[in-house]
């Protein structure tokens, strides 16, 4: 991972155009090829970014990031204040707490909690950006990706959105619907999820624990 703090301006050209005037910002270049531009007042969310696959061309103080669709980020650097590079190594992945891990197991065993006719494909379905908690199919055979949280907040909806964007590129899975499942879903998270076409499901942990699993029953 490469971190550059620089006084720069950024111009984006693609489906729309955007301009960031000259200011001090953090430029984050990751090993996966992604490039993002951050300020000091937007928490985790970048001001602009380019997701992989993309490539960075450095021509002195003019950096051009381009993807296969022809979209470009042009970063014009006036002054470099600091620059560091670190090898972070292999990412072990997010380890869920005990309740979330157990919720995932219980929901997989009682997948019809999501609706009649639902069938489990697998837990921890792998993707390039991390595993989806549960991948299943609804009664019509459509693919459904489920993100499970103990407390459902906006970050969880954003996480599921990224999974859906990636999964929908796979013609064997697409179209993929999303379900955001949690013991408690905050109103802001529910509003964002529903605006993106993601269904919200409130999970009753005690009811799931007390229900008899039918995962391996023949009758």
Global pTM?
Answer: 0.56
Which residues have C-beta within 8 Å of that of residue 170, sequence separation ≥ 6?
none
Whether the domain at 2-85 and the domain at 99-215 fall into the same CATH topology: no
More confident: 14 or 132:
132
Tens digit of each residue's pLDDT (9 = 90 or more) over 150-186? 899 999 999 999 999 999 999 999 999 999 999 999 9
Residue 63: what are its φ and ψ, rounded to 5°?
Answer: -105, 135
For every residue of 31-56, DSSP letters joined together read: TTS-EEEE-SSSTT--SEEEPSSEEE
d(CA 125, CA 147): 11
Which residue is associated with the tokens 């970014």?
Answer: 49
Tens digit of each residue's pLDDT (9 = 90 or more) over 184-198? 999 999 999 999 999
Tens digit of each residue's pLDDT (9 = 90 or more) over 105-146? 999 999 999 999 999 999 999 988 889 999 999 999 999 999
Res. 217 pLDDT band, cuts 50 70 90: very low
Nearest by Cα to 124 from 96, 99, 153, 88 = 96
- Domain coordinates of the chain in residue numbers? 2-85, 99-215
The predicted structure's pLDDT at residue 41: 82
CATH number, domain 2-85: 2.70.180.20
The predicted structure's pLDDT at residue 216: 42
Token output for 166: 């990636």
How is domain 99-215 classified at the architecture level of CATH?
A: 3-Layer(aba) Sandwich (3.40)
Over residues 19-35, the mean pLDDT reads: 93
């Amino acid at each position: 991972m490469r971190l550059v703090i620089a006084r720069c301006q950024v111009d984006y050209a693609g489906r729309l155009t955007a301009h960031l005037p000259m200011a001090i910002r953090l430029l984050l270049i990751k090993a996966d090829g992604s490039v993002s531009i951050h300020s000091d007042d937007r928490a985790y969310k970048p001001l602009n970014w380019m997701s992989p696959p993309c490539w960075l061309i450095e021509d002195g103080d003019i950096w051009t990031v381009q993807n296969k669709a022809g979209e470009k980020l042009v970063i014009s650097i006036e002054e470099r204040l600091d620059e560091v590079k670190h090898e972070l190594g292999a990412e072990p992945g997010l380890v869920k707490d005990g309740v979330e891990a157990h919720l995932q197991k219980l929901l997989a065993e009682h997948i019809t909690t999501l609706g009649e006719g639902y069938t489990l494909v697998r837990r921890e379905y792998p993707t390039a950006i991390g595993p989806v908690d549960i991948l299943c199919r609804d009664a019509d055979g459509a693919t459904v990706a489920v993100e499970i949280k103990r407390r459902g907040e906006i970050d969880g909806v954003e996480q599921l959105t990224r999974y859906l964007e990636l999964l929908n590129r796979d013609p064997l899975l697409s179209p993929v619907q999303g379900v955001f499942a949690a013991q408690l879903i905050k109103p802001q998270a529910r509003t964002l999820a529903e605006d993106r076409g993601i269904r919200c499901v409130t999970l009753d942990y005690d009811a799931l624990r007390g229900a008899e699993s039918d995962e391996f029953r023949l009758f």
